[in-house]
Amino acid sequence: MENVKTIASIKRHIENHIGEKVTLKANGGRKKILVNNGIIESAHPSIFVVRLDNDIPRTVTYSYSDVLTNTVQLYFAM
């Protein structure tokens, strides 16, 4: 994701990409990095929802502060 500095601008950026494919890199703790592909399903006031493209369909939620602190990194498909 580009150099987005505030939670409000992160929220606007994610809202502009609802329904698009995204690659997530999340910190799983203890030096684990979880990489998943999915689609941004919805954006709410404090969280956004991503439907993962795995064998078992499931959704995960992240807060905008996770993106701000680089706990979660988003890479949008071009």
The CATH number linked to 26 is: 2.30.30.100
Structural domain count, the chain: 1
> What proportion of the chain, given as a percentage, has pLDDT over 70?
95
Does residue 1 lie in a domain region? Answer: no
Task: Encode 34-51: b = buried (16+ Cβ within 10 Å), e = exposed.
Answer: eeeebbbeebeeeebbbe
12 three-state secondary structure:
helix
Q: Where are the alpha helices (DSSP H) in the chain?
A: 7-15, 64-68
pLDDT digits (tens, 9 = 90+) for 35-63: 999 999 999 999 999 999 988 889 999 99
pLDDT of residue 54: 83
Alpha carbon distance 51, 38 (integer Å):
5
pTM: 0.87
Residue range of the domain that includes 30: 7-76
d(CA 10, CA 67): 8
Is residue 59 domain-resident?
A: yes
Q: Is residue 71 part of a domain?
A: yes
